[in-house]
A and B are shown apart, each in its own frame.
Chain A
Amino acid sequence: MTPLTLLCPQCGSALPRQALWRIVSCTYCGADVTHSEDLVRAADFHDAYLRSRAGDSEADIACGGQRYKTIAHLGTGASATLALAERSGAMPRRVVLKIAHAETQAGQLAREKAILDQLQADDLPGAAYFTQRLPQAVAVGSSAGADGQLREVLVLRHPTGFWGSLADVRLAYGRAIDARHAVWMWRRVLEVLAYAHSGGWSHGRLAPEHLLVHPADHGVLIIGWSGARRSRHDGGAAQGRDLMQLAWAMRAILADAPGEPAISRATPPPLARLLERASLDPAWCAALGAEGMRQAVGGAAKEAFGPARFIDFSPTPSN
């Protein structure tokens, strides 16, 4: 083996052998030196990373090691405020930020994230399809609000294409929506509930405010999972209660007037009968199950309207 002495080309002093494969600083003259002809500096990649973070100063919320810039306010719930935001950096990402109110119990959003993570991790039949139709949590942490107080923040993947809640739809219409639209909304929620219920979950708070509608795809996303429970030992009572709550949510969008929703005389009789029983008889709901209820809704709809067909839905009235 030929001995090799590495020398600094500037001052001639000895260099450490690391100069063969990376840049070293000469301890005598301070020059940055390398003897490698094919050297690639990792620092150049780090510099690119720092350049990619140049937009961080415009972001207003930090959570989970990322920074987010708020785009729009989306609403105020019982325990948190919702905002649409975009992650800063070279690789943007649209998210929904759920920012806890000052009086909200600490850890509530962390619990919601844990529930959503478990729902996403469940490996039940149909998981590949249905986990896309459940909210996806990104991170939870705390961030200083405008008043300087630290608030809990939950970052959720933005559910693209969803317009607003069924409560917003009811408010926008100011009257009952077409019952044919209520049918697909009901069935979409029941599909997802059947999946969640099969894993032992119950949502517990299926109000119109927790059902987001996707007009183009005729989809419905169930949100507000912070009160969800997982139990296989109550004989399906909690799941039956979910189905009853959902029937009331459907009554709300089919009701002529706001307030406690009465079944409208305009609702076709087969659907009205099903709605009435589902909204009053949790034991029957539990016995039927979400999949049985979905089939019952399909049967009632066929009786009322004939074979299913796609009808464009607008979340706001066109006349």
Chain B
Amino acid sequence: MKIISERYVPLVVSVGQVVIFPYYILWLKEVSLTLTLFTWFFAAFSFSAALGYRLFQVGKKPADSFIPYIYMGMGCVYILVGYITSTFEVLPYIALFFQVILGLLQGYHHAWHIEQKSFRLHAINHYLLVGIIMIGLSSVKIISPISFISTFGAILFICGMGLLIKKSKDSSVSN
């Protein structure tokens, strides 16, 4: 079980993020009214990622305890993106909020992830998997980008939930 949480879940998260990003960018581009705004959205993402990264570094280690919530939070954002259909006028405001949340969580996850022992191995698997999955997805024509985004959200959410369950089991065993 330790192997799953330390190796495969972070892999799913980081590979999934890269794979899903083109679809998410498509969504964000539609929501951004101008190119400037689109760029600002990404700037907001980066600034909050910087904060997330730093928050991990200054926190008490090991900070594994937050990781399931980080995944669940990211999952929720992606699921919500998939569900929003009509609140169009306020969508840019919601998108900005999402960018900040995603950035923060992503920064935190990244800071945690590179400190894990299995990170080096992941780097190689990561690139290979991203390439293969992207080629795979490009051949799926029926599903809209939004479904990819929310499916990924659901996967992240399940990963987070799985880790939480595992943790509570571990702690009850050790008690």
| Chains A and B form a bound pair | no
- List B residues at the A interface (Cβ < 8 Å): none
Show the binding face of A for B, using Cβ within 8 Å: none
